[in-house]
Amino acid sequence: FLRCLDNLKDFDETQFELGFIHNDFHPNNSLIDADGQIFIIDFIDGQFSFFIADLANSLFHLLIHGSEGIQRAKAFLHGYED
């Protein structure tokens, strides 16, 4: 914990963009239709925050769900690229 804290002492929040984030994206908060399109649902935890926080939280939740999570993680990252 202390090593992590040392790394944060020089944190420059101006390097990261802010915007509306989902803040709780995981397989249970998305639907896949018959064509393979993914729809994100349940924005109850959405907030204005750093995009990087949404990426970290979401990728953690997605990647612990095996191959289905990997597919959704790729779609999630694609959404950030667009």
Residue 58, token pair as written in the block = 């979401």
Q: For 31-40, 47-56, 69-78, which range has the lowest pLDDT when averaged over its residues?
A: 69-78
User: What single DSSP character describes residue 16?
Assistant: S
Instruction: Give the model's confidence band at 37: pLDDT under 50 very low, under 70 low, under 90 confident, else very high.
Output: confident
Q: How far is CA 26 from CA 13, 58, 75, in A?
A: 26, 6, 12
Whole-structure pTM value: 0.62
pLDDT, tens digit (0-9, with 9 covering 90-100), for 55-82: 888 888 777 877 777 777 777 777 777 6
Q: 34 or 63, which is more confident?
A: 34
Instruction: Give the model's confidence band at 19: pLDDT under 50 very low, under 70 low, under 90 confident, else very high.
Output: very high
